Each structure stands twice: as C-alpha cells, then as structure tokens.
Amino acid sequence: MSSQESLIILPKSNVINTTEKFENYQSIDTINYYHRGSNLLKLLQDIGAVVFDANNRLVLSAFFTNNEQKGSLSRILGYAAEGVVVRECNTNLSKNKIWANYARKLKQDSNAVMQFFKSIYYELFLENPDNYIAIGTGLAITKTEYSHIYSHNSDRDICWVNKYNDAKQLLTIGGIKWNKQNFVGIQLKVSAATNGYYVTNYFKNKPYYKLYPVVYFDLGGDFYQVKDNLIYIDSQTVKPNTLFSNEVNYGNYSHAEIVDMMLIRGKDVDPSLHDELLFYKDLLSQILAGKYSLYDLGNEDVLISLIIDYVGKNISSPSPILNISV
C-alpha cells in the first residue's frame, strides 16, 4: 500500500453528538453500527480493497472488481472477515484464545465443567496463545509487515505468530490434528447463499492434507444445510484424497465427528462479527450498485442515514434482509 493511500483520514466520531442524532431512533445498536461504519474504510485499506486511481479518486482495487457485482461483494466480504477476526484477536486476549483453540480443534464447550476439564487435560500441554498474534495471510497489511507469511491463495486465512519472533508459529498438539501439518490455522468462508453448495464444494475438492478448520459465516443461514450435506455426502461425488473420499481413514474419529471438528459456524464463535459482516454486506452492496461512493463512508450524515435505513429494515423482521447472494 502506497504512502498516499495511508493518508486516508476518517472524521473522529463524537459519541455525544452521534448519540443525539440517534435519540429519536430507538435501537441499542445504532452507536455500535456507527463505529463499525466509520472504521470500514480503514478495514478496506488493510485488506487492500481500495486504491487511488489516476485521477486521485478512491476506488476499489482491480483484484476485487469485475463485471459481476456478486463476485466483487463475495471477495470483499471474504477478506473483510479476515480483517475483523485479526482485529478482534489482537485487541482481546480472551477472543484470541478462543479463535486459536478453534484452530487447534479445541472448541469452547457450552458446559462450564467440561470446558474446565478441557483446559486442564488439553490446554495445559499447549503453548499460551497470549504470546502469539493473529495474522491474516491474504491481507495487504501482511504483505508489508509479514511478507514471508503473505499469500492470496493460502490454505489458511488466519495463522498465529510469536509476538517476539515472527519466524515462530503456534503449533497444534500431536494427536489432535491427523494430517501432516503442524502449524495451526483457520480457513474463513463467507456467503449469503441458502443452498449450502459453496462450502460443501470446498470440502469436495480440497485435499485433506491441505485442510484447516473452516469457520463459516453463513449470512444466508445455510450452515446446517452445509453440515447435513457433509454428514450425508456421497463419497462417489468427491475428488480423490479429499476428506470424505473412500481412501481417507479417520482413525478413531467418526464421520460426524470429523464434520463437527472441521466445520464451525462463525456466528457461534463470535455473533458480533457475524452481525458486522451482515452490516458491511448491506453498505458495500449499495456502493457497488453506485448508490454511494467510498468517500461517503467518511461522511457522518450519509453514514448515519445508511445505519438508520439498515437497522430499520432489520429490527422489523426476524433476520436481516439479504438482497444479494454471495
């Protein structure tokens, strides 16, 4: 990212002023949405989605644009998920541990007693994630700061490197990960589809030895459809050496346990990030449709109008309105 691009400055938010603007609109989420919206342009910079064109106008990077709005939106949301997960991990030690443990296939247990025993019998033998920071392997900021990790096509979207030695990565405990890789990582998927095919096809085609746990933000609510697709998958429809092909042996794990271990719902890991991505989807779809420009994200009045419109549509129905499939 050029030095010129790094000079984009968003207006400072005035919580009191912003609160006053929302005072006639009864929703506890409006201030939270405002902060998300005001930070979206910075996030787009970090993921390399925005650049200056020859006329010094802020536009979407060519990597994220094509002739199909659906394709552009899915790319941006995928990298946005990378950016928000990295942000949460590196600003909250508790969340960092949760995400790192999912990467190590140690899910948080809703049963407090079981979670306590897990922390004793498993986590005791693992390195402390507090000593590691999350890195988005495909983010533009990673290309600058951690070039040896950067990749647009990595098998994992998130990895963890030691705070004091970036050549050292967080490892998984032997016996929990059955394939040949030792470094931990997570693959992120985002979609507003409702048929489950996007993530199902990923597992059908990806070699098992390149797989990391997949955290899926199902903006269209098809997570359980995907899960059923994988549990009842026909092994004749998958490529050789993929997770559900006949030649792959799970060892002591059942087919259902493998699905449960390798597929995690993003909303279950962090509901606020699921909600944030839904909000970004709404804003970005309007920008891609030409209704607003990227510069409008820095205009407080426009941003508040967009937030009120979004919250107004979504608090009146049980689930957010999804106009565009990703």
For residues 185-191, give the mean pLDDT: 95
Q: Is the pLDDT of residue 278 over 50?
A: yes
- The DSSP letter of residue 196 is S
Q: Are 79 and 140 in contact (CB under 8 A)?
A: no
Residue 297's pLDDT is what?
86
The predicted-structure confidence for 79-118, as pLDDT tens digits, reads as follows 999 999 999 999 999 999 999 989 988 665 555 544 444 5
For residues 270-280, give the mean pLDDT: 95
pLDDT greater at residue 239 or residue 56: 239
Residue 142's pLDDT is what?
93
Pairwise CA distance, residues 262 & 187, whole Å:
10
Q: Is the pLDDT of residue 252 over 80?
A: no
Residue 45's pLDDT is what?
87
Q: What is the largest CA-CA distance in the chain?
A: 63
Residue 325's pLDDT is what?
43
Q: Are 217 and 186 in contact (CB under 8 A)?
A: no
Residue with tokens 């993530």: 199
pLDDT greater at residue 242 or residue 128: 242
Range list of β-strands (E), 95-241: 132-136, 158-162, 187-191, 214-218
Q: Give the DSSP H/E element, type plus range, for residue 59.
A: strand 58-60
Pairwise CA distance, residues 85 & 302, whole Å:
27
Interhelix angle for 223-231 vs 255-262, to 10°? 150
| Residues 6 or more apart in contact with residue 79 via CB below 8 angstroms | 47, 48, 49, 64, 136, 138, 139
| pTM of the complete model | 0.83
Q: Is the pLDDT of residue 14 over 50?
A: no
Cα 93 versus chain centre, distance: 18
Residue 220's pLDDT is what?
93
Q: Are 186 and 107 in contact (CB under 8 A)?
A: no
